[in-house]
A = this chain, B = another copy of it.
Amino acid sequence: MFNFKVHRKDTSTKARVGRIMVHGIEIETPVFMPVGTYAAVKAVSPRELEELDAEIILSNAYHLYLRPGDKTIRNLGGIHKFTGWKRGFLTDSGGFQIFSLSSLRKISHEGISFSSHIDGSKHLLTPEAIIQIERNIGADIIMPLDICTDVPTEYDHVKEATKITIQWAMRSKVAWEKDQNNSTLFGIIQGNIYRDLREYCTKKITKIEFPGYAIGGLSVGEDKKSMYETIDFTTDHLHEDKPRYLMGVGGAKDILEAVVRGIDMFDSVLPTRNARNGTVFIPGGRLLLRNSENREEERPIEDGCTCYTCKNFSRAYLRHLFKTREILGYRLATIHNLHYLIEFVKKLRASIKSGSVDKFREELEKGLV
């Protein structure tokens, strides 16, 4: 049901191009996964996502458990049928979101108890319960419950959290093996920015054996250097023939720096959230659509861009839509940002294939891509 092949390895970096086959869905890596927390990528339709060449999108088990309920999705035939999105789905467990959003949360070895951020109702989610929830939802790739710590968090606390994460990974795998259905379970590596804990966790998680591995708990407040170093030494301890997913990372530069350190998969709310704030990606940086300099600017967001937005609308019109809070503005900016990032990853793949990653990196630094 799940297969991953590396097709091409860069000679000067750890970058690689590969292909995931999961339940008949083919995903070229490196891949960027747009986020649709509530089973909808904010502001865009499945048809638009297909046109953008999105291959797999990410939803959140915690959120879907609360609304509309994982059993509701199961009763409606699973998340693909529910949403009309026929390509890949990955569900994160939502451990991170329980910590950010819910109140009265409490971790025990058993699981996480918390009050819903929607209606205050009380819940206990165990690793086994999360597997069952994700199975009901029916995504192609699912993530186990884990504990994500902030940076900075003191060593002893991270150590304890890492140990629990490993125990939960083991329990998740046991639960998953009982009935794999159409889901493929990845392992998650935690350990904050403590090198020995990352190494310890990587060894333990890989020993449990999963079809793919995620690096969690990065891009949560640490500096870029720590993030890149952590990615670098973690991928050194990961099997070459398994896909590696860096959770919650999504800027162009961070994606490139992670890919050259051996990462294959990414997700982030960055392109969609930025878009809804009127911030759009262009080579060399960002453009604030609300700025008055765009008042009568006839150019599109990006000259030569082939997205629906840039082919049809001026910055002036987009500024107007944002100033008047028209939904169409959020839509058009989202389309451009997703297009930008998905095309960026395509170009990055091409540069790996042609052995020109270094040149691509230079172009990015010069603001040319």
Q: CB of A108 within 8 A of chain B?
A: no
Give every chain B residue within 8 A of A314 (Cβ-Cβ).
Answer: 76, 82
A interface bracket (residues with beta carbon within 8 Å of B): 35 or more
A45 CB, nearest partner CB in chain B, Å: 6
- The residue that A42 contacts in the complex, of B38, B42, B326, with Cβ under 8 A, is B326
Give every chain B residue within 8 A of A328 (Cβ-Cβ).
Answer: 40, 42-45
Q: Measured between alpha carbons, how far is A75 from B295 in the docked complex, in Å?
A: 10
Q: Measured between alpha carbons, how far is A40 from B331 in the docked complex, in Å?
A: 12
Chain A stretch 275-330: residues in CB contact (< 8 A) with chain B:
295-296, 298, 308, 312-314, 316-317, 319-321, 323-324, 326-330
Determine if B320 and A67 form an interchain contact, defined as CB atoms under 8 angstroms apart: yes
Chain A stretch 68-105: residues in CB contact (< 8 A) with chain B:
68, 72, 75-77, 82-84
Give every chain B residue within 8 A of A76 (Cβ-Cβ).
Answer: 296, 298, 314, 316-317
- Chain A positions 325 through 358: 1 when the CB is less than 8 Å from some CB of chain B, otherwise 0: 0111111100000000000000000000000000
Determine if B83 and A317 form an interchain contact, defined as CB atoms under 8 angstroms apart: yes
Determine if A295 and B84 form an interchain contact, defined as CB atoms under 8 angstroms apart: no
Give every chain B residue within 8 A of A331 (Cβ-Cβ).
Answer: 45, 327, 331
Q: CB of A39 within 8 A of chain B?
A: yes
Give every chain B residue within 8 A of A75 (Cβ-Cβ).
Answer: 296
Q: Measured between alpha carbons, how far is A174 from B199 in the docked complex, in Å?
A: 83
For this complex, 17 residue pairs linking A to B, each with C-beta atoms less than 8 Å apart, are: A38-B324, A38-B326, A40-B321, A40-B324, A43-B327, A45-B328, A45-B331, A47-B312, A67-B323, A67-B324, A72-B296, A75-B296, A77-B298, A84-B312, A84-B313, A84-B317, A327-B330
User: Which residues of A are interface residues toward B (Cβ below 8 A)?
Assistant: 38-40, 42-47, 67-68, 72, 75-77, 82-84, 295-296, 298, 308, 312-314, 316-317, 319-321, 323-324, 326-332
